[in-house]
Structure formats: C-alpha cells, structure tokens
Structure 1
Amino acid sequence: MLEIKNLDVHFGVIHALKDISLTVEQGEIVTLIGANGAGKTTALRTISGLKKPTRGSIIFEGRDITSISPQDRVKMGICQVPEGRRVFSTMTVLENLELGAYLRKDKAQINKDLNMIYERFPILEKRKKQAAGTLSGGEQQMLAMGRALMSSPRMLFLDEPSMGLAPLFVKEIFDIIKSINQTGTTILLVEQNASMALQIANRAYVMETGSIVLTGTGNELMQSDEIRKAYLGG
C-alpha cells in the first residue's frame, strides 16, 4: 500500500533521513520506534508532504506521490495526527471535527461519520460545544484522532499519540488505535513508548540518527535483547 524507497531528507547541512526504505501493507499496523531525534517525525512529515525529500520516492497504492501536495495526499486517503495534538483550541470540539472533513462533499456520509466518531469517543459528544483548548490531554488526543478520521482515511499516520498522557489514557489510546485498525484503516505509528507500540504492531522499524537499523515483527523485536536493553527498560 505504501512504499518508501531510498529516502534522503536534509535540513540545511543536517542529513536528517539517510537512505531509508520501508513498506506498509494494507491492513497493517507498522510502527517506527527510536530515541528522540532519530528521525521518526521527519519521516512522517515527509510521507505526508510537509517536508520535501532530497532523494528517493514515496509510492502510495502504486502511484508516485513524492511531488504532490499534502492536500492531494489527503484526498487520496492519507491523513496524519500530528505530534502534540494540534487541536484548534479556541474552536469547539464539533468545529474541530467538521474541519477534518473540509475536503469532502458527501454531506450525508459526513453526518454518519460524525455519529461514528461520537460512538467511538463518547466524551467528544458530551463536550461538542466546548472549546477544544479546555479538554484534558487525553481528550485532545481523542479529538485529534477523531478529526483525522473525519477525512475518511485509508491510511492513518499517528505521531507520538501517547506523549504527555497519564498511563490510564495511554492504554485507552492504544486500544482505540487497535479498534481503528480492525475497522480497515492501515496505520503507520511513530511512538516513543516502544513497549506499547510493539504490542500492537504487525511489524516495526527501529530508527537511529536518521537511519533504519533494524526491522522485524512486533513480537520479534519485543523478544530482542538489543531492543529490550535500549527501549524497553532491560
């Protein structure tokens, strides 16, 4: 479904991504794990079209999308939940969700999808008239995910969804990620909580200083002594 080939990205003289290649098959959860500064977010931003690569290609469903706009990638079914939630704090919960569907014209289906979001995240319906900035961190993460789902994505990118959340919310967010995947949405997940990410991932890539240094199934990497020592606390 998604194929990244020999991707290089520079920020001035800084070589941020170094010849990375990866694939995501339809229906999978694939995760990128690694320390801060490893290049995980840069990889997602590049695939989303927010950063231009200096070399390499991005293929989505057989089409080279390396040079097309972020908006056109959303139209094709790619949507990203950014690091730090990035909700529109002065707008209501409902207005944030409606913005997620800004490229869509199918009003009847949009209303159905809105009801689906409320079923999946009941707290958002209770708070729909509330300013998004007044929600807790966990609620804002749910809103950011709901907003992305309103674009009706076939592939969802999640950037550090557990960042700054209490442990109870972290488990809930990962349960939601699994349920989204089970309804047919393919997921590429960037996450520093390697233990939680590997538990739900079909496959994983480990990044260090802009390079992919290891890959395997989630279970294989959970059992790896190297990964346990580096990312799982022993």
Structure 2
Amino acid sequence: METMLKVDDINVYYGAIHAIKGISLEVNKGEIVTLIGANGAGKSTTLRTISGLLKPKTGTITFEDEVISGTAAHKIVEVGVSQVPEGRRVFSNMTVMENLEMGAYIRNDKSQIKLDLDKVFHHFPRLAERKKQEAGTLSGGEQQMLAMGRALMSAPRLLLLDEPSMGLAPLLIKEIFEIIKDINKEGTTVLLVEQNANMALSIANRAYVLETGQISLSGDAKELAASEEVRKAYLGG
C-alpha cells in the first residue's frame, strides 16, 4: 500500500508539558485510520501537529513524500490536508454558503469548485436547504456537517477529523459516520480522532490507541475492537 502520511517520532510540548512523546504512525492512501484513547491522551494534539497548528520539537511529518512538519497551517491545506476542528468552529455570522466558499478560498478552478459544492450538498442535503441561513443558527449536528463540508471544499486528499461525534445525539452520530464512510469511498483518505471508540473502530481499517502521549497499541481496527484490553478500557466491555 502507498503511504500517504508518515508521522515519525514526534515530540510536542505545551510550554513545559511534554504532550506527545515520540509518536510514530502511518496512514495509507484510501484508508480510514482512527486514533482512540481517553481524554487528554494527546489525540487532538497529534492532529493539530499534523495540520500545522502546532510544531513538533523533534521528529518529522511527511505527506506524500514531502516533509510538512514546521510548515504553516495554510500551506498544509494547499498540499491537500484539511482538518475539521474539534468543536466545529464554523463562521457563525456567515451563511452556510459563505462558509462553504471560505473552504474553497485556496482554489480557482471554478467549474470543479461547483462540482465539489454539488457533492457536499449530496452528502449533506440539509446544508442545501439552509444555504442562506447564518451558520450560528444551525443545530449542533448541522454545524458539524457544515464544518465537514467546508473542509471538503478545499478538495483534500487527506481529511483530518477531530471528534466529529462530540455532543451529538446517537442517531446523528450514526449519520455522520455513514457520511465519513461515503467520503472515504469516493477517494478521500481519513484520519479520525474520536472519543466514541465503538463507532470509530466500526468504520476504520486500522487504529492506534493513545495513552498519555504515547501509542500503546496499534493494528487492524476489527482486531482491536475484539481485543480484551481495548474492550475493557474503551468500549465499556
């Protein structure tokens, strides 16, 4: 399999706190890979470092054979990596449509942008119904859909999802995860950080388990979901 993203022995600090301790992981082209672990294990920090919001003190991050660690976040979007941040963070006083257009700000291929917009509305019909509505007036689930749609508008080859199920009702979580599967089937590789380990493992190809800034387990998602250790710690088993 072709490696798309390679994180090699990164160490990340928040001030004096050593948040990420020598993490290495890989995401192959076409996969859904998930990072699971307790709150504060370093999952979001890992994603934020990949997307350029944080800089590793040591170690390298390579995307499609290009070193991106230390590159500015907007440049990382330009090479094809887009993050859906935790807590959605939509532009609340802009309309749904304006939010989606913001997602495509790095592009000037007008006709392809139009096709991608149609694709977003196909995945998220509710956004099409509400395209003139201010994003701040949407429900939590709709805001999550908008944040995902906005990230897709940059035409990423790798989509980073940070806690997409956070604060959503179970039915909506199911819907969001179905959409993640569809987006992946259409050719976007996905790296998913998720508290809901059951859901994450059910759609992922492979998984890494993070504990206090280190990877404690990794492997095939189905095998990890069946493992005693993971069931006890993360699946309420």
- Give the match for residue 85 of structure 1: 88
In the alignment, the residues of structure 2 paired with residue 120 and residue 194 of structure 1 have an alpha-carbon distance, to the nearest angstrom, of 23
| SS of the residue 1:105 aligns to | coil
- Give the match for residue 111 of structure 1: 114
Q: CA deviation at 1:72?
A: 1.1
The runs of at least 4 consecutive aligned structure 1 residues that moved more than 2 Å come to none
Alignment partner of 1:180 is 2:169? no
Letter in 2 for 1:174: F
Letter in 1 for 2:31: E
Alignment partner of 1:149 is 2:176? no
Alignment partner of 1:167 is 2:163? no
Letter in 2 for 1:51: L
In the alignment, the residues of structure 1 paired with residue 229 and residue 119 of structure 2 have an alpha-carbon distance, to the nearest angstrom, of 41
After superposition, what is the alpha-carbon deviation per residue over 1:1-50, rounded to whole angstroms, capped at 9, x for unaligned? 10000000011110000000000000000000000000000000000000
After superposition, what is the alpha-carbon deviation per residue over 1:72-103, rounded to whole angstroms, capped at 9, x for unaligned? 11111000000001001111000000000000
- Give the match for residue 65 of structure 2: 62
Unaligned residue ranges in structure 1 (runs of 5+): none
Matched ranges for 1:1-234 at <5 A: 1-234=4-237
Q: CA deviation at 1:68?
A: 1.5
In the alignment, the residues of structure 2 paired with residue 10 and residue 155 of structure 1 have an alpha-carbon distance, to the nearest angstrom, of 25
Letter in 2 for 1:33: I
After superposition, what is the alpha-carbon deviation per residue over 1:132-189, rounded to whole angstroms, capped at 9, x for unaligned? 0111111111100000000000000000000000000000000000000000000000
Q: CA deviation at 1:107?
A: 1.1
Identity %: 67
Work out the number of aligned pairs and report it: 234
| SS of the residue 1:125 aligns to | helix
| SS of the residue 2:21 aligns to | strand
Q: CA deviation at 1:119?
A: 1.4
Letter in 1 for 2:121: Y
In the alignment, the residues of structure 1 paired with residue 116 and residue 42 of structure 2 have an alpha-carbon distance, to the nearest angstrom, of 33
Q: CA deviation at 1:65?
A: 1.1
Q: CA deviation at 1:69?
A: 1.2
Unaligned residue ranges in structure 2 (runs of 5+): none
In the alignment, the residues of structure 2 paired with residue 193 and residue 120 of structure 1 have an alpha-carbon distance, to the nearest angstrom, of 22
Letter in 1 for 2:225: M
